[in-house]
A and B are shown apart, each in its own frame.
Chain A
């Protein structure tokens, strides 16, 4: 059974002249690592807001179609109920943090769930370490840099270990090495704990390798939906102008030139280097 399922989901913000998402029908399976991408303004954030009920309960406006997340109908369940199952990391971390200290912010969700004190402490320390902000735990979130705030927002969600984690461009302010480490942490939790991950990202060079499933949106609609190696090889993806990883691009360019390379499309530099080594019979 899918963890997230929408049928013809269409939503217009209050006062909006046209829907920000229209006719979105997708299924995301339990334990999947799903990547949502597409031009900015295409409705990715809007769709994420539907996954935890911010739309329609907070934003109001007009929602049509069906949506079920972790088996629950969004329309019938208030935000606080959905929050037990779905953690959302906002695109803009400033909007998410409010407590007086990083530690309190990370503990907040757990306290709300009534998790025992000792367990809260354990989980908060665990996630502060995972995201590399243990040393910042007594600082006020609003005094931190954008990148540090993003780490706090991610830590708050990780601490909850929800069934579904929705991350909306969660590392945009982080430098590449830090972003790479965070994505790896998210991937490991996805594999180890079976948490379903929905990640909105433009930087496919850093993230495509982790995805089981890619959804490409354009102008409020889902235009491509399927297996990453297939989607990122398609002409449509190139035309919409999503950031196809350079390793994947190089593979297709060489193939077009008639070079014989194995049929598994690479999504990362490691995969591409291995294909080339195979073709050139080198052992590095």
Chain B
């Protein structure tokens, strides 16, 4: 469980990136943190694995305050995949990259081998195992970074902008993968502004603006609330936009899924034909 209690954070250059954030994320929850560029999303999630410590307020991971546990202990529990994979990759080959953290955590050689293979396979990277991550395309590098974190099986997984540079199929795989993590009772937190991806995943959505949380609730509710979305520089998903443009029909407001939209429209169109 992650508990954020009235957290303020100021960078050394004086920028106040968090201005009183409170939030509880329970074990096994799937949360999307959304909001405009510079809203403080990355700053917030860096508090979850102790990379940043609050200037004021407290962050607790499984009831331990992040200022009081070692970064290594936290890292084992909280896997973090950075927004820019280049800040995370440094080994000669994809395979070594994935093995690196496992070695650091002291896993046995045989287990390391197995975990590396498993992670390469899961993310469709097996063909690149002997290739330098820097020879790969941006999307492929991002997957190497994800594989290297998944390999040590952290309990909480944080993905900062995981869909950037990913194509539709990879996003679909990512979605399947997150759902799988959910069934294993893992906590998954994604930072993203990919509205269509969130609409398909249907997580809890936390919306940020200028260092504060401005909305928190089900994806269906938040992604169809045009007023708060505009504040956070987010565009509603296309299905929601279509429904918003037909106010006189008094359609249900919280529709973001194509198939749900279809059911409702079919009823209307058919009764209209009669």
Contacts and interface: CB of A to CB of B under 8 A. Distances in A.
B172 A241 contact: yes
Contacts of A173: 37, 161, 164
Contact of B258 (A172, A241, A250): A250
A284 interface: yes
Contacts of B262: 250, 253-254, 257
Interface stretch (B25-33, B46-54, B91-99, B236-244): B236-244
Contact of B238 (A145, A269, A280): A269
A176 B84 CA distance: 19
Contacts of B230: 177
Interface string B236-274: 011101100111110000000011011001101100100
B193 A38 contact: no
A147 interface: yes
B17 to A, nearest CB: 11
A177 B233 contact: yes
Nearest to B166: A40
Interface in B159-197: 161, 164-172, 193, 195-196
Interface stretch (A75-83, A186-194, A270-278): A270-278
B234 interface: yes
Given A169-B165, A176-B193, A250 B261 contact: yes
A92 B138 contact: yes
B153 interface: no
B38 interface: yes
A40 B167 contact: yes
B88 interface: no
Given A173-B37, A175-B37, A246 B249 contact: no
Interface in B15-49: 35-38
Interface bracket on B: 35 or more
B104 interface: no
Contacts of B261: 250
A221 to B, nearest CB: 16
Which applies to chain B's interface (DSSP): helix, strand, loop or mixed?
helix
B196 A247 contact: no
Contacts of A282: 246, 248-249
A178 interface: yes
A269 B167 contact: no
Contacts of A272: 238, 242
Interface in A138-162: 145-148
B137 A39 contact: no
Contacts of B139: 40-41
B270 to A, nearest CB: 8
Contacts of A172: 164-165
A241 B242 CA distance: 23
Contacts of B36: 175, 177-178
B237 A242 contact: no
A246 B235 contact: no
A39 B37 contact: no
Given A250-B242, A284-B245, A205 B258 contact: no
Contacts of B233: 175-178
B167 A242 contact: yes
Given A146-B84, A175-B234, A45 B248 contact: no
Most B CB within 10 A of own CB, among A175, A259, A269, A283 = A175
B242 A276 contact: yes
A243 interface: yes
B263 to A, nearest CB: 10
B269 A176 contact: no
B235 A176 contact: yes
Contacts of B235: 176-177, 180, 206
A243 B167 contact: yes
A177 B241 CA distance: 14
B196 A246 contact: yes
Interface string B150-161: 000000000001
A246 B240 CA distance: 10
Given A41-B140, A177-B235, A269-B241, 4 more contacts: A39-B167, A254-B269, A270-B245, A273-B245
26 contacts: A39-B167, A40-B137, A40-B165, A40-B166, A91-B165, A169-B165, A173-B37, A175-B232, A175-B233, A176-B195, A180-B235, A202-B167, A243-B167, A249-B258, A250-B258, A250-B262, A253-B258, A259-B266, A259-B269, A272-B238, A273-B241, A273-B246, A276-B242, A279-B269, A281-B272, A282-B249
Interface of A: 13, 38-41, 45, 91-92, 145-148, 169, 172-178, 180, 202-203, 205-206, 241-243, 245-247, 249-250, 253-254, 257, 259, 268-270, 272-273, 276-277, 279-284
